[in-house]
């Protein structure tokens, strides 16, 4: 039968090409006109350790990688063992046998497909071809369109020479032939290609880089850190096309210092890091607040604290993003849901930094960073670019003059008549240091007051559902996509549930939270952190008392986890 929604999980050892064939399948499905969402996880070691790539593809829109898999492709015994509990009746498993390192016991009701991947790779005298043998077998068994796969493989390997391309295609063909010798009994079959859509397939990190370049970025500085480094790689490739500059700094303190300097010089500037780097930037974030300098910091969250889980998923930097500085240091904090958000909210974040002359922190996470999804190609004619308020040259220039909206005109260095002092010390309207009590209170009121309109300027929080509900679910970051599906499935079962999906985390749109809560008997806040950080902030700033639901094992939620939790709390319809 043709299944519109199919999930394939490839698992094995780091270095075996697990991630590569997942990328190939995702790209081929996108070329075949299908929606694609992926999830990948890999070890912190350079080689070895468990690696996994899950591809979910559908003819309909999908919001997350799904609960579990329909098809498992196990490269070794460890991969089989780690996923054995998910091999329920009706699933299929492709595994390396004979010739691999294990002979599995196939659970009852599971469709087995032994493919001698390692043996065939040995016959081809290249152990690294094992993944291409597996890809050929998967292509035949589950109707992954061969034409689009060949296009993707050709694009990948042609630059390495015709001999390399032909070798990989040979391994692919050998894997296909091995699968043709087997009898297919399972129902899983990827949908046939449809008319291609005007979409691109990107990872979250690449999408942030694209959004930055489209959003008018002129200067980027960063220090490499997992899982944010690919943002810098993307920007490095494309920022020269818009006459921008990228610098690899010696550390995270240098990177944020450099973007502050570039912004002071009149340029749209940003950096990208993860939790350990954001912690190091806290002092200079305070400097950005005090000097009212527009900068964007992207934080791709990973498991912490300390070095923590550098390649794993977590949503645990929220406290640091909102309050991570000495003194009272207001800033704007946004979080992205998916790859499409990564493009457009990076543009929004750059614009907000310029408009409000303050630091903006954009939160992504390790799952979304490496996830690839199909998204609509951006319409370049509709991208808004908001510039900072600039001095018009009239009258005396006072950099920090108190205005009705709290936002003072800026002037680039060298502007005639606009010489001023720029300092981290408290200052008066001219910029000259002023430590009087009255001035310090006035300047605090200015810096906080100008952010009061952010909740009105930024798009309203999305409410998923209408009317009264027994359960309202508030989700942030990439957990939103999981909750969207859980809410839809719960409604299909008769439960009265609604979703609430804030993208502006701070300043908190309190009235919108309050209005949502009035329509729900109880509120649930699922988060991938130990403390329930958003739930804590909601309690601090609103009258709500939500139920906190947390996990922190290094992986994102699945829809079924959300559904089970709701069913624990809410009576059956």
Find tokens 């690839």 and name the residue.
372
Tens-binned pLDDT, residue by residue, of the chain (573 aa): 344 689 999 999 988 899 999 999 999 999 999 999 999 988 777 667 899 999 999 999 999 999 999 999 999 999 999 999 999 999 999 999 999 889 999 999 999 999 999 999 999 888 788 999 999 999 999 999 999 999 999 998 888 888 889 999 999 999 999 999 999 999 999 988 888 788 899 999 999 999 999 999 999 999 999 999 999 999 999 999 999 999 999 999 999 999 999 999 999 999 999 999 999 999 999 999 999 999 999 999 999 999 999 999 999 999 999 999 999 999 999 999 999 999 999 999 999 999 999 999 999 999 999 999 999 999 999 999 999 999 999 999 999 999 999 999 999 999 999 999 888 999 999 999 999 999 999 999 999 999 999 999 999 999 999 999 999 999 999 999 999 999 999 999 999 999 999 999 999 999 999 999 999 999 999 999 999 999 999 999 999 999 999 999 999 999 999 999 999 999 776
* Cα atoms found within 13 Å of the Cα of residue 549, Cβ hemisphere only: 24
Task: Give the span between the Cα atoms of 232 and 245, in whole angstroms.
Answer: 11
Phi-psi region of 130 (alpha: psi -120 to 50; beta: other; left: phi over 0): alpha
Task: Give the span between the Cα atoms of 269 and 84, in whole angstroms.
Answer: 48
For 22, the token pair is 């997942």
- Residue 187: C-alpha distances to residues 4, 57, 67 (Å): 12, 16, 18
Residue 269, beta-bridge partner list: 219
Burial (Cβ within 10 Å: 0-12, 13-18, ≥19) of residue 373: buried
Find tokens 């804590």 and name the residue.
536
Burial (Cβ within 10 Å: 0-12, 13-18, ≥19) of residue 402: middle
Domains defined along the chain, listed by start? 5-180 (3.40.920.10), 201-382 (3.40.50.970), 396-457 (no CATH), 459-569 (3.40.50.920)
Which of helix, strand or coil describes residue 281?
coil
Name the nearest CA neighbour of 370 among 316, 308, 312: 312
Residues in the chain: 573
Residue 115, beta-bridge partner list: 96
What pLDDT was estimated at residue 1?
Answer: 37
For 439, the token pair is 């001035």
pTM of the shown model: 0.94
Q: What is the DSSP string of 349-362?
A: HHHHHHHHTSEEEE
User: Residue 40: which residues within 8 A CB-CB, separation 6 or more?
Assistant: 19, 22, 51, 52, 53, 54, 370, 371
Task: Give the span between the Cα atoms of 201 and 29, in whole angstroms.
Answer: 10
The three state secondary structure string of 146-199 is HHHHHHHHHHHHHHHCHHHHHHHHHHHHHHHHHHHCCCCCCCCCCCCCCCCCCE
Task: Give the span between the Cα atoms of 399 and 404, in whole angstroms.
Answer: 15
What pLDDT was estimated at residue 523?
Answer: 98
What pLDDT was estimated at residue 485?
Answer: 96
């Amino acid at each position: 039968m043709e299944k519109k929604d199919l999930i394939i999980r490839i698992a094995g050892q780091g270095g075996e090409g697990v991630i590569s064939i997942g990328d190939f399948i995702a790209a081929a499905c996108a070329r075949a006109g299908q929606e694609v969402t992926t999830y990948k996880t890999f070890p912190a070691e350079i080689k070895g350790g468990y690696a996994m790539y899950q591809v979910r593809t559908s003819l309909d829109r999908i919001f997350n990688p799904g609960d579990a898999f329909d098809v498992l492709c196990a490269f070794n015994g460890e991969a089989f063992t780690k996923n054995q509990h998910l091999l329920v009746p009706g699933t299929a498993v492709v595994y390396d046998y004979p010739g691999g390192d294990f002979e599995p016991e196939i659970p009852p009701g599971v469709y087995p497909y032994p493919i001698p991947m390692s043996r065939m790779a040995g016959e081809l005298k290249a152990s690294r071809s094992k993944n291409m043998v597996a890809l050929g077998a998967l292509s035949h068994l589950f109707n992954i369109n061969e034409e689009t796969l060949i296009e993707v493989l050709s694009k990948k390997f042609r630059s390495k020479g015709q001999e390399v391309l032909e070798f990989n295609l040979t391994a692919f063909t050998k894997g296909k032939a091995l699968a043709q010798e087997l009898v297919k009994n399972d129902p899983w079959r990827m949908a046939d290609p449809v008319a291609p859509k005007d979409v691109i397939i990107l990872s979250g990190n690449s999408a942030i880089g694209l959004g930055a370049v489209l959003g008018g970025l002129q200067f980027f500085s960063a220090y490499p850190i997992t899982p944010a480094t690919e943002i810098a790689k993307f920007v490095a490739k494309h920022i020269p096309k818009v006459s921008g500059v990228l610098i690899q700094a010696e550390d995270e303190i240098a990177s944020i210092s450099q973007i502050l300097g570039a912004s002071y010089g009149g340029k749209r500037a940003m950096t990208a890091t993860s939790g350990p780097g954001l912690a190091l930037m806290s002092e200079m974030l305070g400097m950005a607040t005090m000097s009212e300098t527009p900068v964007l910091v992207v934080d791709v969250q990973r498991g912490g604290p300390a070095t923590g889980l550098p390649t794993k998923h977590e949503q645990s930097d929220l406290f640091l993003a909102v309050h991570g500085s000495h003194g009272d240091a207001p800033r704007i904090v946004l979080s992205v849901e998916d790859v499409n958000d990564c493009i457009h909210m990076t543009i929004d974040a750059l614009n907000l930094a310029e408009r409000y002359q303050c630091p903006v922190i954009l939160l992504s996470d390790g799952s979304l960073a490496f996830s690839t999804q199909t998204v609509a190609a951006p319409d370049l004619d509709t991208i808004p670019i908001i510039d900072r308020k600039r001095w018009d040259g009239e009258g005396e220039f006072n950099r920090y003059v108190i205005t009705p909206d709290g936002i003072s005109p800026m002037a680039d260095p060298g502007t005639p008549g606009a010489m001023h002092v720029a300092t981290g010390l408290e200052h008066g309207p001219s910029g000259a240091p002023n430590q009087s009590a009255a001035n310090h209170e006035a300047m605090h009121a200015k810096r906080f007051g100008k952010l009061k309109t952010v909740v009105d300027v930024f798009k309203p929080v999305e409410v998923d559902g209408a009317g009264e509900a027994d359960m309202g679910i508030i989700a942030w970051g990439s957990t939103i996509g999981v909750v969207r599906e859980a809410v839809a499935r719960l409604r299909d079962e008769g439960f009265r549930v609604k979703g609430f999906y804030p993208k502006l985390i701070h300043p908190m749109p309190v009235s919108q939270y309050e209005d949502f809560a009035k329509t729900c008997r109880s509120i649930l806040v699922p988060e991938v952190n130990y403390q329930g950080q958003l739930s804590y902030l909601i309690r601090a700033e609103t009258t709500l008392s939500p139920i906190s639901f947390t996990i922190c094992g290094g992986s994102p939620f699945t829809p079924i986890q959300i559904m089970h939790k709701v069913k624990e709390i809410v009576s059956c319809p």
